[in-house]
Amino acid sequence: MSLNIYNTLSRASEPFTPIEPGHVRMYVCGMTIYDLCHIGHARMMMAFDVVHRWLVSSGFRVTYVRNITDIDDKIIKRAVERGMTIRALTDEMIAAMHEDIGRLGILAPTVEPRATEYVTPMLELIAKLEAKGLAYKSNSGDVLYAVRKFAGYGKLSGKSLDELRAGERVAVADGKEDPLDFVLWKSAKTSEPADAKWNGVVGEQDYGVGRPGWHIECSAMSCKTLGETFDIHGGGADLQFPHHENEIAQSEGANDRPLAQFWLHNGFVRVDNEKMSKSLGNFFTIREVLAKFDAETVRFFLVRTHYRTALNYSDVHLNDARQALKRLYTALDAVPPCQQAQAIEWSNPYAAKFRAAMDEDFGTPEAIAVLFDLATEVNKTKSPDLSWILKSLGNCLGLLQGNPGEFLQTGAAVDASVIQAQIEMRNSAKLAKDFAAADAIRRELLLKGIVLKDTAAGTSWEVAA
């Protein structure tokens, strides 16, 4: 089997082969870090966490770079509002992000560059673009990219120059030669705090005191950490234009070589058929969601939809995700996996079907369907070997690694010690042949959302569906 990935650049699924045999280099545009992350941000990071995990499961060594934008208009505004330095704000928000996504089981990237640590490479790239006639200084003091001088502009979005319009985050500046031209270096404003300003001197060039534009940040960070051409560049669908289009123009304009072989874009999270975003006010932070639902249920909710498909958020969908995940954990609870140290045997029919699904553009819906088929077979055959395969395949998606009994008891409205005491009282009643009392205890717990399960090994319990 070979891995096929949908490439936004070609608008087609293509066989994937890394530039360096056995080693995948992947860059993903991360967070602009001025507030807590919402579930839409989690969806982006989860999508590429699954990509990362599957590449590793497929035997590749992966260098995964996910950047942090820690200088931006919104960051400056929030720091001023809170009366703190930009660094203090971004350090606080980065720590919160790590805590939140860590709870969701999102693995850390290999490298997590902060934009403010790469200002010199950004200035070097700007100077290179100016020397090639692709950048110019405006009368406002900003340095701008001359879009119409780059022949390939529009190839990622698939639109002609005349069809394209400046995107939401393309700054408007005086002295533009073309409305599509975008800012590479923003001249400092007197109203901005001192920690939002850098000396724009690089070599013999002096671009004045200012700060980098958003797009140049990722061009510099990706090329510095992964090289001028790498395997995969990813991010949310909203970044396709203008951000990724502008990255291509900058990087390829400067280096005369493709920036990335494959471009991957994940779909939005929607609420009432509108994109979840802070600007619309229809967002839920990761912390708010995790206050209502356990972390693995949230992960399962995000993973079970294909990464390129829009995802509808609601409590109903999360409750459904929990019930589905319970079915898998119920199989693992009933038939504990055997202890094996070896890797997955991909020739196993279930493993082979799972791999075929994941090798077709990381097809998580079909892969998860295999997990349910396997759980059914585990329940039927009581095979610890199949139970181990179920758990091992789940691990490829960051799922099913918890204690099954603990998961099934998560969210109980009654303290576990109280439930256990009730079970012991019921056992005593059954020994005394007071079956009416035993049934009454079962009914009382059921009314509180607790289901008792009698087996040869004793009585266990779980939260009702």
Residue 169, pLDDT score: 46
Q: Edge to edge, what strands does the sheet with 135-137 contain?
A: 135-137, 143-145, 182-187, 210-212
Q: What is the C-alpha separation between 375 and 389, in angstroms, rounded?
A: 10
Residue 436, pLDDT score: 82
**Which among 239, 295, 256, 298 has a CA at the least distance from the CA of 131?**
256
Count the helices and strands in the chain (H runs, E runs). Answer: 15, 17
Q: What is the C-alpha separation between 338 and 336, in angstroms, rounded?
A: 6
Q: What is the C-alpha separation between 147 and 246, in angstroms, rounded?
A: 9
Residue 278 annotated as binding site: yes
Residue 218 annotated as binding site: yes
Residue 429, pLDDT score: 75
Residue 215 annotated as binding site: no
- What residue has token string 């042949």? 433
Question: For the domain with range 18-270, which CATH number is right: 3.40.50.300, 3.20.20.70, 3.30.300.30, 3.40.50.620?
Answer: 3.40.50.620
Q: What is the C-alpha separation between 163 and 107, in angstroms, rounded?
A: 39
Along the 465 residues of the chain, how does pLDDT read in single tens digits? 699 999 999 999 999 999 999 999 999 999 999 999 999 999 999 999 999 999 999 999 999 999 999 999 999 999 999 999 999 999 999 999 999 999 999 999 999 999 999 999 999 999 999 999 999 999 989 999 999 999 999 999 998 887 765 444 444 546 788 889 999 999 999 999 999 999 999 999 999 999 999 999 999 999 999 999 999 999 999 999 999 999 999 999 999 999 999 999 999 999 877 777 777 777 899 999 999 999 999 999 999 999 999 999 999 999 999 999 999 999 999 999 998 778 899 999 999 999 999 999 999 999 999 999 999 999 999 999 999 999 999 999 999 999 999 999 886 555 667 777 777 788 887 788 777 877 777 877 776 667 878 876 678 777 776
Going from N- to C-terminal start, the domains of the chain cover: 18-270, 314-407, 412-463
Under CATH, which number does the domain 314-407 receive?
1.20.120.640
Q: What is the C-alpha separation between 300 and 297, in angstroms, rounded?
A: 5
Tally Cβ neighbours within 10 Å of residue 8.
Answer: 20
Q: Answer yes or no: are the C-beta atoms of 247 and 255 closer than 8 Å.
A: no
Residue 31, pLDDT score: 97
Residue 416, pLDDT score: 67
Question: What is the 8-class DSSP label of residue 188?
Answer: P
| Angle made by CA atoms 351, 356, 357, in degrees to the nearest 5 | 100
Residue 461, pLDDT score: 74
**Which among 89, 108, 109 has a CA at the least distance from the CA of 99?**
108
Residue 91, pLDDT score: 98
- CA distances to 60, 265, 291, 310 from 56, rounded to whole Å, are 5, 20, 31, 26
